[in-house]
Amino acid sequence: MSNQMKALAKVKPEVGLWAVERPVPEIGPDDVLIRVNKTGICGTDIHIWNWDEWAARTVPVGLVTGHEFAGEIVEIGRNVTDLAVGQRCSGEGHLIGRHSRQSRAGKFHLDPETRGIGVNEQGAFAQYLRLPAFNVVPLPDAIDDEIGAILDPLGNAVHTALSFDLVGEDVLITGAGPIGIMAAAVARHVGARHVVITDVNPARLELAAQVADVVPVNVATEDLREVQARLKMTQGFDVGMEMSGNQRALDQMVEALVMGGRIAMLGIPPGKSPVDWSRIVFKAITIKGVYGREIFETWYKMIAMLENGLDVRRVITHRFKAGDFEQGFEVMRSGLSGKVVLDWT
């Protein structure tokens, strides 16, 4: 194996990513080396490409980016006993510490020392990735590399969707991006009654209807209350999932929920947003902030659901060779795509 690999890195503090050659990572005794086969382009990667304010203060220049991947283990550290060379895998991109109360209690997704591959540490947009063996998630034969490469965002969707009991409930999802669409598919899979997903992007709403058995609503042209009446909903939605990061969408969700409704909030409104807390208090609404995936409960649940019939493949709308990454990012930035997958083989 050559000691050089192809990768995508943020080599300048400006818009874009650049194809580079880097040394193949050397692994430690508790790590594995993964040959990357497929990667997904994430919304976080778009922030890094655009070099927005968050990216500029968070991502070190020179970093190999990317954190959604699937591949094959090609080398294992001397202390690794439960994984094998040749094993197919994806992995948790949040690298946790071991010292905080949260981590020591097994609540790994709440560890304040967490660092992210492709954000703080060398990432997966490369032919090879070093990853702690602890973070590796083996893939069953039923899950191919293409789906394996989008398990990270699917995990966000699953974590959000399973925050509250959905069986027999009416669900409102604001934001028909790929994660919102996958959350809608999960909600239907686990037994929600009506699932309504809202956006102002017709292409995304059309994709949502193709991926999942949901009611897509363009709130720029349709009245959500009329949709509720058409579905014979007498009070409101039981559970909301806010995926858009749009304050107006959150406000609309609060209005549309029943008394005692519950909101799982993954979207992040930019800056500081005005909130009418009286509406939330007087409607006794519960809001849960959702970050990443529950390590590793979310992984077990989503793999089980995929093996049991959950189908999200149609959320992948574009596929490119890794060398054509600029086209992939252009499509992703257009807002007219679902998930975009890069092939590194």
Per-residue pLDDT reduced to its tens digit, 247-293? 999 999 999 999 999 999 999 887 788 889 999 999 999 999 999 99
Q: Of 131, 8, 4, which Cα lies nearest the Cα of 63?
A: 8
Domain 4-150+312-343 -> CATH class = alpha beta
What's the confidence (pLDDT) of residue 58? 96
**pLDDT (average), residues 137-152:** 98
- Where exactly are the structural domains of the chain? 4-150+312-343, 155-289
Q: Is 345 helix (H, G, I), strand (E, B) or coil?
A: coil
Please give the Cα distance from 258 to 240 (Å, whole number): 10
- The residue behind tokens 């939330």 is 280
Say whether pLDDT at 148 is over 80: yes
Query: Could you give the CA distance from residue 154 to residue 156 in angstroms, rounded to a whole number?
Result: 5
Q: Are 342 and 39 in contact (CB under 8 A)?
A: yes
Q: What is the mean pLDDT of residues 305-311?
A: 97
Encode pLDDT of 32-71 as tens digits. Answer: 999 999 999 999 999 999 999 999 999 999 999 999 999 9
How is domain 155-289 classified at the CATH fold level? Rossmann fold (3.40.50)
Strand segments (E) across the chain: 4-9, 18-23, 31-41, 68-76, 88-91, 94-95, 115-116, 128-132, 136-138, 171-174, 195-199, 215-218, 237-242, 257-265, 286-289, 316-321, 339-343
Any idea which residues carry the catalytic annotation?
44, 47
Which residues make Cβ contacts (< 8 Å) with residue 248, sequence separation at least 6? none
Query: What SS3 class is residue 153?
Result: helix
Only one residue has tokens 């994430």, namely 42
**Which pLDDT band, with edges at 50, 70 and 90, does 1 fall under?**
low
CB 270 within 8 A of CB 292: no
For residue 294, the one-letter residue type is: E
pLDDT tens-place string over residues 319-340: 999 999 999 999 999 989 999 9
Residue % of the chain over a pLDDT of 90: 96
Q: List CB contacts of 38: < 8 A, sequence separation 6 or more.
A: 69, 70, 71, 145, 146, 148, 149, 341, 342, 343, 344, 345
The pLDDT score that the predictor gives to residue 272 is 83
Tens-place pLDDT, residues 189-243? 999 999 999 999 999 999 999 999 999 999 999 999 999 999 999 999 999 999 9
Q: Binning pLDDT at 50, 70 and 90, where does residue 9 land?
A: very high
pLDDT at 62: 97
What is the pLDDT of the chain when averaged over all its residues? 96
- pLDDT surpasses 90 at 135: yes
What is the β-pairing status of strands 339-343 and 316-321?
parallel
